[in-house]
Amino acid sequence: MTEPTSAEAEQHRNEVRMGVVLSDPDLTDAVIGGGAFGGSFSPAVALNMYDRNHTEAIEDAKRLVEIEEVCPRSWLVRLPIVNCAVFETDEGLVVVDTGMAPGGPAVLQAIRTVSSAPIHTIIYTHAHVDHCMGTWALMEDNPEVIAHADAPRRYDRYVRLRGSVSRYMTQPLHSFPADQSDWVAPTMTFRDTLSITVGGERFDIVHHRGETDDQLYVHVPGREALASADYYQGFLPNAGNGKRVQRYVEDWALALREMAALAPRFLLPAHGESIVGDPEAIAEAFTAHADALDFIAEETLAGLNARRRQDEVADSIQLPPALADHPTLNEQYVSPADISRMVMKQYCGWWDDIPSHWSPARFDQQAAAICDLAGGVDAVVDRARELAESDPKMACHLVDWAWFADKSNPSTARAVIDIYTKRVANERPNTQEALMYVDHLTDVQLALDARGDI
């Protein structure tokens, strides 16, 4: 039998992963509901964000793209997952963000339905894939490309950690950046603030760390319009993603308060719906998000200063009712506890306050010892199934010990699938948590497939 190539194995894994997502309606809802980030959703686009040659993803983006005029000569281009902002001036177009790689042609297609003006300037709000990789399709007019000075270094992280980051982002390794030539690098960078004039209009570009260390927003004072990047997302912000590098919760809140003080009348967010002609609603939403982030940060630091264990601190974080019930702060992609952990990551070392975790035994070795003490893997699996309804968190701990102690046991693999699927149905986890479960279940299903167990 011919061994599959790494590309074929990766394709097979993605197919199994999508099968896992679609196998249960609750899991599908958790992944797609939050994973769309307030926009439409395309599996082809989501799984091929770096691939400018993926035909299905390009065609999906073109089919799903929408463009809406938010204020005169100012449009929000809505792709699957992400938005771009376009401002027409007498000298040409200023485009804020360009989408993921297969979205670039869709952005250009949408632009050309409303304007034939040349693209004068492109601004990256940050060097995340869904904000800067579509530029390759927009370069016919040789525009200036502006970004924060740290954007190239952030992109270089993709290159240096391509195996790790592509795994956590569920992206094919073959399409992942291999060097700086795989994106359109900025032609102009800045540090704190930059004001440019295009067609007689001023664009103020302001940096504050937030989702990334190179994030910025774009204010167009003559139009009372604001492209808010990922500072505002229409739900509890993606400020606690356990698979991503450091995010800056307090700086994020500062940026939100600063944007609120600008009193924009027209909001063009990078995710979700625009807000048109309502400065009070915009300012109120920004302020609510800032209050939530500041509350989580302050409560986290207070817990650390009280010398509480880190897991106790995160578990204790609960937004006050006025924020927890706010219509733009629903828990969709991450939780307050996740954001608290990100705060702790910024301020603390890697140790989690558990003495044995300083120099621990490998997890699979711990799992084997625990299962042996419990009377074997089957006994642990049986107890996990008993707890699946009443205590799903503990059930998942138990079945993970069984799985990592002995991955060759098909009954354990089936228990992992059953118990985690039941947990999703009972707890309705946020999208990032659900995606982590999907990765786990994919590994388990692949092990079953390899053994020929159905």
Per residue in 90-117, pLDDT (tens digit) is 999 999 999 999 999 999 999 999 999 9
In this prediction, residues 20-27 reach a mean pLDDT of 80
- 76 in a domain, yes or no? no
Statement: residue 1 has pLDDT above 50: no
CB 269 within 8 A of CB 233: yes
Q: Which DSSP category does 3 fall into?
A: P
Contacts of 327 (CB under 8 A, 6+ apart): none
CB neighbourhood size of 261 (10 A): 11
Give domain status of residue 67, yes or no.
no
Asked whether residue 367 falls in the same domain as residue 406, the answer is: yes
pLDDT at 22: 79
What single string gives the DSSP state of each residue in 18-83?
Answer: HHHHHTSHHHHHHHHHHHTTTS---HHHHT-TT-TT-HHHHHHHHHH-EEEEEETTEEEEE-SS-E
Check residue 143 and give its pLDDT: 98
Whether residue 364 is found in the same domain as residue 403: yes
CA distance 28 to 45: 16
What is residue 4's predicted lDDT score, i.e. its pLDDT? Answer: 55
Domain match, 363 and 443 both: yes
Q: Specify the CATH number for the domain of residue 5.
A: 1.25.40
Is residue 181 assigned to a domain?
A: no
**Looking at the predicted structure, is the pLDDT value of residue 347 above 50?**
yes
Domain-embedded: residue 184: no
- What is the pLDDT, as a whole number, of residue 453? 61
Q: Virtual CA dihedral for 201, 82, 140, 86, nearest 10 degrees?
A: -20
CB-based burial, 138-147: b 16+ in 10 Å, e otherwise: beeeebebbb
Give the mean pLDDT of the chain.
94
- Write down which residue in 302, 320, 347 finishes a domain: 347
Both 333 and 372 in a single domain?
no
The packing angle between helices 377-387 and 392-405, to 10°, is: 160
Cα separation of 54 and 58, whole Å?
Answer: 6
User: Would residue 448 count as lying in a domain?
Assistant: yes
In a domain, 105, yes or no: no
Q: Is residue 288 domain-resident?
A: no
> Which whole number is the average pLDDT over 303-317?
97
Once rounded to an integer, what is the mean pLDDT over residues 361-380?
Answer: 97
3-state secondary structure of 144: strand
Considering its fold, how many domains does the chain have in total?
Answer: 2
- Domain boundary at 347, 368, 390, which? 347
Q: Please give the backbone phi and psi of residue 69, each rounded to the nearest 5 degrees, phi first.
A: -85, 115
Beta bridge partners of 144: 121
Q: What is the DSSP letter of 328?
A: T
Residue 30 reports pLDDT greater than 80: no
Q: Please check whether residues 373 and 316 belong to one and the same domain.
A: no
Statement to judge: residues 336 and 426 lie in one domain: no
Instruction: Tell whether 370 and 427 lie within a shared domain.
Output: yes
Residues 383 and 340 both lie in one domain: no
DSSP calls for 251-318? HHHHHHHHHHHT--SEEE-SSS--EES-HHHHHHHHHHHHHHHHHHHHHHHHHHHTT--HHHHHHH--
372 with 443, same domain: the answer is yes
Residue 340 pLDDT > 70, yes or no? Answer: yes
| DSSP H or E run through 204 | strand 201-207
Where does a domain end: 281, 313, 347?
Answer: 347
Residue 338: Cβ within 10 Å count: 22
The answer to whether the predicted template modeling score (pTM) of the entire model surpasses 0.85 is yes
Tell me: do 368 and 442 sit in the same domain: yes
The pLDDT confidence band at residue 454, using thresholds 50, 70 and 90, is low
Q: Roughly how many angstroms between the first and final C-alpha of the chain, as a whole number?
A: 21
Domain assignment present for residue 99? The answer is no
Residues 6+ apart with CB under 8 A from 449: 16
Distance of CA 297 to the CA centre of its chain: 20
Say if residue 445 is in the same domain as residue 372: yes
Statement to judge: residues 402 and 366 lie in one domain? yes
Q: Render pLDDT for 179-207 as a digit per residue (tens, 0 to 9).
A: 989 999 999 999 999 999 999 999 999 99
Structure tokens at 273: 């719906």
What is the residue range of 23's domain?
Answer: 1-35+359-454
Contact present, 155 and 2 (Cβ < 8 Å):
no
